[in-house]
Chains A and B, each alone.
Chain A
């Protein structure tokens, strides 16, 4: 696909007295403070983000669509709000959006040929929330087609590069949203996480990536992949920024039937409470301490970084429970690869070339048009998943695959519930490896193994966060995953913040 024209070099430099005050990797908190104190304007902050995109995105390729005009218009409106004193929590903050989330009047491609020309006619719920909070939407980010993948290489348009090493993948499926934040092209971003699609790219790109409790954020306007697992969540450079962004997009929405009708707590309320008195379970299936349960593909450099993070947590007053066990979660991968493709095969049945999207019309019959539409409109990974799901749901196999997987899901949820009776948090590596080279993983199942530590969380519907916890081989970021009980995002942010304050990983940036 021809990518949108980059923002012009000349007009995006953020000229003016305040521009030099802008940190090249601003945080949301820092950006908001600078705007409030008048050190720079929202227009300058937006220009700085657009200039950064112009400077680095030919190499990083985080964006499918850059919304330069919209962003500058929103920034001008933000400057008026700031002048009027009616600024919201995100007023003037540049935010990037995974291109699976609808923004009215803007293409929502899902990185698929099928939706290459599709222009959304409504804003997603989260986009309405962001606009109301004053956010400046800078663009739509790349992903694995329909969010199916763990490297962003399955984008139908182009792969995204990891800002820490452009020969490597950013992870996926929300690789563009993670890379955009890591590369300084946006201050925060939104992704979606069905089996690890926020947390794993967060880990690979050295940023914070958070998946809220299933039901915390409305999926209205998020293109559906696997509806029993999909959840929208934030990317940020700091834990408190992730909490701020989640605060804005969380909340009940009757338009998403699983959206929880619960009050949204102040996610940042407990940030300063530290770790004293918290028990953090480190389940042995996730650490490979005994030879028989060594997680597949676990790299020693990742294990080492995570082990030293556990020491830091202990030093901060947490009790690490090494006897914890989640035995069935070792079998979560096949459960996921039955459930997610089954739901995908149903959700993606809508792409028939009739109502919207790519349409083949040269056939002799409606059925031929429909089959050719799906043949040419979907990429191989999407077809693999639709075929897998079709198989798992078909007569004679439903009981052995889909129903069985749903029963094992009950067991996995039960094990997590039991563990949360003796611990407030669970800690694991986010992914078994650091970012791998573009093109290095060619076997589909090998690619699926990226998500062995993140998938059980989606199956159980729990909230979890990946935070930077060091660097492994070749100076590549490693992520630490913290998992909390349903609806307890506050404890998640509290522990993540305590760890962040005791370390300086979040202050490291890639050389671009």
Chain B
């Protein structure tokens, strides 16, 4: 697929989509990249309306509950057993999840 950086019908370039996929750690074929470029560009076009809403001096709201900084006592308590923790593990070594080497 050609390394075009932008397309007339959208704000998103293939490179931007490739960058997002890398950040999100989702593997994609060239065909996937083009498909998501088209679809995400069309969705993002609907978000332009946000810029037109006046939010001068408006504080952001993080959620629908009027709760802030809910804390719990810092106390040791029983946690899941090893057999529960590893019940669904794809690969295990002793009490550890096994993955390939991160650093070569």
Interface residues of A (CB under 8 A from B): 117-119, 121-122, 213-215, 227-229, 254, 257-258, 260, 328, 331, 333-335, 337-338, 345, 349, 352-357, 359, 361, 363, 365-372, 374-375, 378, 383-384, 386-388, 390-391, 394, 400-401, 403-411, 413, 443-445, 448, 458-462, 486
Contact = CB atoms under 8 A, between A and B. Distances in A.
Given A257-B67, A368-B27, A386-B26, 7 more contacts: A227-B63, A254-B72, A374-B27, A375-B26, A384-B40, A406-B62, A413-B64
A384 B36 CA distance: 7
A443 B62 CA distance: 29
Contact of A334 (B24, B49, B97): B49
Contact of A367 (B25, B36, B80): B25
B58 interface: yes
Interface of B is mostly: loop
B56 to A, nearest CB: 9
Contact of A383 (B26, B60, B87): B26
B26 A405 contact: no
A444 B63 contact: no
Interface string B13-50: 00011001101111110000000100110111011011
Given A229-B64, A460-B64, A356 B88 contact: yes
Interface string B84-104: 110111110000010111100
A331 B99 contact: no
A337 B44 CA distance: 9
Nearest to B56: A407
Nearest to A254: B72
Given A214-B64, A366-B102, A445-B43, A357 B58 contact: no
B99 to A, nearest CB: 5
Given A359-B90, A390-B24, A337 B47 contact: yes
B94 to A, nearest CB: 15
Contacts of B87: 119, 121, 356
B62 A401 contact: no
Contact of A215 (B28, B61, B67): B67
Contacts of B16: 391
Interface of B: 16-17, 20-21, 23-28, 36, 39-40, 42-44, 46-47, 49-51, 53, 55, 58-65, 67, 70, 72, 80, 84-85, 87-91, 97, 99-102
A204 B90 CA distance: 39
Contact of B63 (A258, A337, A375): A258
A506 B49 CA distance: 39
A378 B26 contact: yes
B51 A404 contact: yes
A372 B27 contact: yes
Contacts of B40: 384, 387-388, 391
A401 B20 contact: no
Nearest to A331: B49
A444 B43 contact: yes
B24 A387 contact: yes
Contacts of A257: 67, 70, 72
A366 B20 contact: no
B65 A258 contact: yes
A148 to B, nearest CB: 13
A406 B84 contact: no
B63 A228 contact: yes
B90 A354 contact: yes
Given A356-B89, A407-B59, A338 B39 contact: no
Nearest to B104: A365
11 contacts: A118-B88, A122-B84, A260-B67, A334-B46, A337-B43, A349-B25, A356-B90, A359-B90, A386-B26, A407-B60, A410-B59
A461 B63 contact: yes
Given A386-B24, A401-B47, A444-B43, A353 B90 contact: yes
Contacts of B67: 215, 257-258, 260
Contact of A405 (B20, B21, B50, B59): B50
Most chain A Cβ neighbours within 10 Å, of B21, B28, B59, B90: B90
Nearest to B47: A334
Contacts of A390: 20, 23-24
A345 B40 CA distance: 15
A123 to B, nearest CB: 12
A444 B39 contact: yes
Given A214-B63, A387-B40, A328 B27 contact: no
A328 B72 CA distance: 36
Contacts of A369: 99-100
A307 B91 CA distance: 58
| For the complex of A and B, 6 pairs with smallest distance between CB atoms | A461-B64, A406-B60, A359-B90, A375-B27, A356-B88, A228-B63
B91 A359 contact: yes
A338 B47 contact: yes
